[in-house]
Structure 1
């Protein structure tokens, strides 16, 4: 009887641990850094991101600063967040998170926005969406 209770307690502890680690690892964060340059000061970057289910609203990011959002990718592998980026003299769109492209490469996706396009981890630069 005592060993059955002990086994049950160990089983419950393992389930709680697995649930907690699964929830912690299931979250994805996208960070957007304003890396625009200006003659006197970097321009403010206005970002508007959304998915088919969530509109994250407009956010103004001053030069060198970061705005980020977090979510849990879908079970079906089709999570997509797309954003518009606007600054004086520029307006572009980019798919900031595409689950098929990004799921394996980041749990924390950091994109540096530059005039020619966003750069993943400031090294893998992409072109703006057409």
Structure 2
């Protein structure tokens, strides 16, 4: 009974803080997803990201443009953002992938960087600074 009461108090605090814009101390640091259009000259990139709670407006990126967005992890450790990147000019060549999956064992926050190149999508982070190919385009 005591555990349920504690849970209800924490849950109520989270709901009230969301409704009134109060900073939630349980959310931790923001996480950022960054995208770069590294495609060849004149090839635009379309980026569309979603989570269970958020639908980030699609973005058309010109060559060499950077764009990103930030968010807080879910209190319950279930944050997932999936993104679809489309290669211009026809936008038929694409790749859908999980861009961020919250790890309950790791601290919140950080930056996840994705670079779209002609041969696929690459990932790096600010901890290792290593660029590695993660996905091939789907034709």
TM category (shorter chain) comes to 0.5 to 0.7
The 3 A distance-change label for structure 1 pair 108 and 78 is same
The answer to whether residue 71 in structure 2 is matched with residue 64 in structure 1 is no
Q: Identify the structure with the greater helix proportion.
A: 1
How big is each residue's C-alpha offset from its partner over 1:47-94, in whole Å with a ceiling of 9 and x where there is no partner?
111101100011011111111000001122221111111123512111
Match status 1:119 vs 2:129 = no
1:129 deviates by 8.9
Distance 2:34 2:26 in 1: 20
- For residue 55 of structure 1, what is the aligned residue in structure 2? 55
TM-score normalized by structure 2?
A: 0.63
Cα RMSD of the aligned pairs, angstroms, is 2.9
Residue in 1 that maps onto 2:13: none
Size of the aligned set, in residue pairs, is 106
CA distance in 2, matches of 1:67, 1:90: 20
Question: Which structure 2 segments of 5+ residues have no match?
Answer: 1-22, 125-129
Which 4+ residue blocks in structure 1 deviate beyond 4 angstroms? 22-25, 103-106
Q: Matched residues in 2 for 1:105 and 1:125: separation?
A: 24
| In 2, Cα distance between equivalents of 1:78 and 1:106 | 14
1:96 aligns with 2:102: no
- Structure 1 window deviating more from structure 2 (87-96 vs 43-52): it is 87-96
Distance (whole Å) between structure 1 residues aligned to residue 136 and residue 60 of structure 2: 19
CA contact (8 A) 2:85 2:96 kept: yes
TM-score normalised to the size of structure 1? 0.67
Q: Confirm whether residue 81 of structure 1 aligns to residue 84 of structure 2.
A: no
Paired with 1:123 and 1:33, the residues of 2 have a C-alpha distance of 13
Structure 1 residue 123: deviation in Å?
Answer: 0.9
